[in-house]
Amino acid sequence: MKTRLAVSVLFGLIAATGVTVFAGKSGHTALVAAAARSGGHQTVASILIDGFIVVAVVVAVVVFVAGTVASACGRARARRAAPQWSTAAPRRRRRAGAGW
């Protein structure tokens, strides 16, 4: 579970970094315009940081849930495929005609 969480956070950070770099380079003028329209004291950096955090958390949660579901399905499939051993001793079969 710790490994799954760490991998999920790593995927979230990678995705957030990519999206933030892309938005910072390609949409810088749009971000400046949005910061100017907001009326509050908001900068381009704060918009990018907020976006980074949101993308990282959303991607990490989605990857973690998908990994948990896939793991549960794999365990269930393995449980169904495993032979079912009984703790009771097997019954002995009689031979036909025994006792004659």
Q: Is 91 among the domain residues?
A: no
What is the per-residue pLDDT across 78-88, written as a single tens digit (0 to 9) for each?
A: 777 766 665 66
Residue 90 lies in a domain: no
End-to-end, the C-alpha distance of the chain in Å comes to 64
Residue 45 lies in a domain: yes
Structural domain boundaries enclosing 22? 2-80
The domain tally of the chain equals 1
Give whole-number Cα distances, 19 to 3, 40, 67, in Å: 24, 24, 22
Find the helix or strand (DSSP H, E) in which 70 lies: helix 44-81
Q: Tell whether 89 is covered by a domain.
A: no
Mean pLDDT of 26-39: 78
Does residue 96 form part of some domain? no
pLDDT tens track for 61-72: 999 999 999 888
Residue 30 lies in a domain: yes
Q: In this structure, is residue 94 part of a structural domain?
A: no
| pLDDT higher than 90, residue 54 | yes
Asked if residue 64 belongs to a domain, the reply is yes
- In this prediction the pTM is 0.68
From residue 25, give the alpha-carbon distance in Å to each of 19, 21, 52, 95: 10, 6, 14, 84
Q: For position 47, what pLDDT does the model report?
A: 83
Between CA 51 and CA 41 the distance in angstroms is: 17
